[in-house]
Structure 1
Amino acid sequence: MKSEWLSRAMDLRLFRIRPAEAYPIVLERRRIFVLPTRSGLLFAFTLFAMLLASINYTLSLGYALTFLLAGVGVTSTFHAYRNLLGIEVSGGHGTPAHVGDMVGFEFSLNEKARRDRFAISVINSEETVVTDLPASSTLHVRLTCRAIRRGPLDAGRIVIETHFPLGLVRAWSVFTPDHTVIVYPAIEREAPSPPRGGEDHDGESSASEGSDDFAGLRGHRDTDSPRQMAWKAIARTDTLISKSFTASAGQQLDLRWFDLPDTLDTEARLSRLTRWVVDAAAQAREYTLTLPDQSIGPGHDATHRDRCLAALALFGMSAHS
């Protein structure tokens, strides 16, 4: 936490970076910084040694070579700075994901100065993308980071840098875009089938399987009733196996927060409801999601699914935005 605070303070003081900047973001002169790399420092030390030797031995050719190489170093600094100057960063869209998955943030790099840009690196906390930017073109860059909690996820601190052309200096710019993606709750891996609308559910009974159509065999769960046990298969394999049943396709699902077992905490309830929403949407089933603070549906299309997942992601948060 202390290192993150220090990094943000340095951004604000040294790089004039606001907490969140609206697109488009233009890399102007005051936003680009240049410092020597390790190779650049070694190059400068070598030039200094050559200068001392030339002075000590009065070498005219030594002076010429030293100042020629120094001119190359200064020129490379100018080209590195110019390689970033004027690039415009505009926002694309983010790829929503579930907790534990990789979230994608897309950016567009726009070149409007009619010159090629080489070896441009776009960096976030977990990934580096290196690319060239042709003259008068737009390039789409996608950065990813792992989602560790549900809710809004900001793109965070982004660095654009280059070591072009000789690697002697590093030119870079730092910005924090106003770019947010919603992270949905994690999907429960072994969730029971959802209850059907119109039935009376209480506690664990909401976790029971439908009983209309036989869907196949699966691993045994603690919530399975004895009638679901596949006794013949258990006798053959010596492994606990249960029968899986599904409700009829036309039956509307009623996914209710209050029908979940009291043993589940908030995040576990959200994970189970997320599993049911995802499965119902994949099967084009009509369903309603009922949370303590709102009810969504009925519906079955992708828009309805996204509304339900967003409501689950923002559940319990002060600002639903």
Structure 2
Amino acid sequence: MASAIEDDVVTLDRRSIYILPTRAGVAFTGLLFVLLVAAINYSNGLAYGLTFLLAAVALVALLYTHRNLHRVRISTGNAPPVFAGEVASFEVCLSNSGQTPRVALRVEQEEARSDARPPWRMAGRMQVARVHLGEGETACVTVSLPTLRRGYLHAPAISLSTEFPLGIAHAWSRRVMLPTRVLVYPRPAPPRPRLAAAGGGEQAGTGAARSGDDFAGLREYARGDSLRHVHWKAVARGQGWLTKEFGGGALGVQWLDWDALEGLEAEVRLSVLTRWVLDAEQVGELYGLRLPGKIVEPGSGEAHRDCCLVALALFGES
């Protein structure tokens, strides 16, 4: 069996397309043989003409079936991150770089890559979509895989096939393994309270170490400040954006700490920390993340949330 094609963009050529007759094609070939025997036996010119006409139609159909896959370009698309337990989606784009339409293309996916399985062994195929491409057109389909664990999940191998136009021949491509991968975040744990610090200052080893809660004054708003600490009355009066300060001038900071979950398994800790990150971001808190060998400084916003989730997803992976 030929090896799979691995590249960001793959254009199918003659060496990457195979073709064989279908059951209907085998039956059609048998019919041609019977007609030919009858024509020879009875020396019937009409039977000869019909036999050769049908044979010519079959040959032309074979050429069209093969050409239907030729010069189809396969490329990668978007692969947004997901949480463990959700379905990962890989976008695959097909482009027609030829001058004739590509009709009734079937996109088939195979199982995801596994380090325990040799690259030449594949599981069963499953049809994902049926695509029609006009001249110069591009269409994108989505290949889906369930996720079981955090980390990177590679896209499954795909292949294209067609039986256009008569269904007497089946053409298919070599397996295409696009180097796309989805980042899988840890599965968020059910909501649970965060541990509070014993004192007013920031402390390591607590689930959510917070600075003091005593109001200390106002200062100009800075990017990254929690919206919960914005002095909205001043904004409404047209006095500009001001931020409330607490505990002698330090904004409340939530430290989401690995060590605060002592006694839990590593994956359970990661799930709980994932939940805390999502909850802190939802309420607009200023939060940081402490992991063994990795510290994400306090911040807020979608970019900061994603930075924390990436650190959790790749924790312990080289």
Aligned to 2:81: 96
CA contact (8 A) 1:194 1:253 kept: no
1:70 matched to 2:55? The reply is yes
CA contact (8 A) 1:119 1:130 kept: yes
Count, aligned residues: 258
Give deviations 1:105-136, integer Å, cap 9, x for gaps: 11222222232111112221355111111111
Aligned to 1:31: 16
Aligned to 1:147: 147
State the Cα distance separating 1:259 from its structure 2 match.
0.7
Q: Which amino acid aligns with 2:83?
A: H
Aligned to 2:28: 43
1:81 matched to 2:66? The reply is yes
CA contact (8 A) 1:122 1:128 kept: yes
Secondary structure of 1:113's counterpart equals: coil
CA contact (8 A) 1:195 1:253 kept: no
1:124 matched to 2:125? The reply is no
Secondary structure of 2:136's counterpart equals: coil
State the Cα distance separating 1:311 from its structure 2 match.
1.5
CA contact (8 A) 1:281 1:301 kept: yes
State the Cα distance separating 1:294 from its structure 2 match.
0.1
Task: Give the direction of change, closer, same or farther, for the CA distance of 1:259–1:34 in structure 2 (3 Å limit).
Answer: same
Gaps of 5+ in 2: 111-125, 214-250
Higher gyration radius (CA): 2
Q: Which amino acid aligns with 2:98?
A: A
CA contact (8 A) 1:196 1:251 kept: no
Give deviations 1:263-287, integer Å, cap 9, x for gaps: x212211111122222222333221
Aligned to 2:304: 304
CA contact (8 A) 1:195 1:255 kept: no
Secondary structure of 2:104's counterpart equals: strand
State the Cα distance separating 1:298 from its structure 2 match.
1.2
Secondary structure of 2:148's counterpart equals: coil
1:164 matched to 2:164? The reply is yes
Identity %: 38
1:256 matched to 2:257? The reply is yes
Q: Which amino acid aligns with 2:101?
A: D
Task: Give the direction of change, closer, same or farther, for the CA distance of 1:206–1:80 in structure 2 (3 Å limit).
Answer: same
Name the CA distance, whole Å, in 2 between partners of 1:195 and 1:254. Answer: 10
State the Cα distance separating 1:193 from its structure 2 match.
2.5
TM-score scaled by length of structure 1: 0.73
CA contact (8 A) 1:120 1:132 kept: yes
Gaps of 5+ in 1: 1-9, 213-249
Task: Give the direction of change, closer, same or farther, for the CA distance of 1:57–1:148 in structure 2 (3 Å limit).
Answer: farther
Task: Give the direction of change, closer, same or farther, for the CA distance of 1:199–1:118 in structure 2 (3 Å limit).
Answer: same
1:60 matched to 2:45? The reply is yes
CA contact (8 A) 1:119 1:131 kept: yes
CA contact (8 A) 1:257 1:290 kept: yes
Name the CA distance, whole Å, in 2 between partners of 1:183 and 1:51. Answer: 61
CA contact (8 A) 1:195 1:254 kept: no
Task: Give the direction of change, closer, same or farther, for the CA distance of 1:193–1:67 in structure 2 (3 Å limit).
Answer: farther
Aligned to 1:221: none
Task: Give the direction of change, closer, same or farther, for the CA distance of 1:150–1:42 in structure 2 (3 Å limit).
Answer: farther
State the Cα distance separating 1:54 from its structure 2 match.
3.2
CA contact (8 A) 2:207 2:258 kept: no
RMSD: 2.4
TM-score scaled by length of structure 2: 0.74
State the Cα distance separating 1:79 from its structure 2 match.
0.7
Secondary structure of 2:89's counterpart equals: strand
Name the CA distance, whole Å, in 2 between partners of 1:182 and 1:156. Answer: 14
Structure with bigger helix share is: 1
Aligned to 1:22: 7
Q: Which amino acid aligns with 1:181?
A: V
CA contact (8 A) 1:196 1:252 kept: no
Q: Which amino acid aligns with 1:253?
A: Q
**Larger deviation, residues 280-289 vs 80-89:** 280-289
Give deviations 1:8-47, integer Å, cap 9, x for gaps: xx342xxxx25xx232211112111111222222222232
Task: Give the direction of change, closer, same or farther, for the CA distance of 1:56–1:194 in structure 2 (3 Å limit).
Answer: farther
1:187 matched to 2:172? The reply is no
**Larger deviation, residues 37-46 vs 86-95:** 37-46
